[in-house]
Amino acid sequence: MNDTLIIISFLAFYFSPVFYQIGIVIKENKQGNKIPLRRLKNILKYSFLILTPLLLGFAALTHTNYLDYEKPITYDKIDQITFENFRGLEFFKKSLYGNKRFAYVVVSMESEIKEDYVVIKSLFHPSRSFVYNSYSNSKELLTHEMYHFKIMELYVRKIKKCISELKNNKKDQIKDIINQKKIEEREFQQQYDYDTFHSYVFSEQKKYEKQIDSLLNLLSEFENPQIKLNE
């Protein structure tokens, strides 16, 4: 069933007492009876009081699965990640043009600027990442998703390289570098998905894998999350 139709059906069922009461109000109001109107106001009030926390809980679980939470994983543990770590919830399961061979990964960078050093690391978020079939053994699909993580790590290392070249270690300069690289990282992630069509274009996928691995190796001296600032 279409996702929109499911939502409309649920809301129609949930608010059916309200619609019924509206009919009574219209009928009784013509006869000067105001009691049904007061009853309608109470029904509306309690309906929204119940619905609001339900919607908030739904939104929270859609963003992060707190029912099966796993803390973020750092890049040094990338080889340990499997689809069992993809714990995110999709109440209305997505597919890729009808294909259930579908997953998405949520990664981020975390930074902390101190007086004489900066800590920047890339993170994989298990409870926000989703796979249609958690028992999937598709190595190609998992590899594609893990290269999103590698792209994030690549830009984390690029940031550290730029910071290492700074002569004046001002916080504003460092923040500007981080913000600019975040923009570049997002653009690269989108281009990666577009060119590989989410791993379905095998030749492009392999081309990106080779390119990303090569760039990560070139920046291997910046794999440590912490980088000391120049005096």
Whether 205 and 139 have beta carbons less than 8 Å apart is answered as no
Give me the pLDDT at residue 112, please. Answer: 96
| CA atoms of 14 and 7, how far apart (whole Å) | 10
Give me the pLDDT at residue 220, please. Answer: 97
Whether 196 and 133 have beta carbons less than 8 Å apart is answered as no
Q: How many CB atoms lie within 10 A of CB 11?
A: 11
Whether the per-residue pLDDT at 17 is higher than 90: the answer is: no
**Per-domain boundaries in the chain:** 3-63, 69-228
Whether the per-residue pLDDT at 58 is higher than 60: the answer is: no
Compare 172 and 42 and report the one with higher pLDDT.
172
pLDDT in tens, 116-151: 999 999 999 999 998 887 667 789 999 999 999 999
pLDDT in tens, 165-198: 998 878 999 999 999 999 999 999 999 999 999 8
Whether 68 and 84 have beta carbons less than 8 Å apart is answered as no
For residue 38, the SS3 value is helix
For the chain, what is the mean pLDDT? Answer: 84
Give me the pLDDT at residue 231, please. Answer: 58
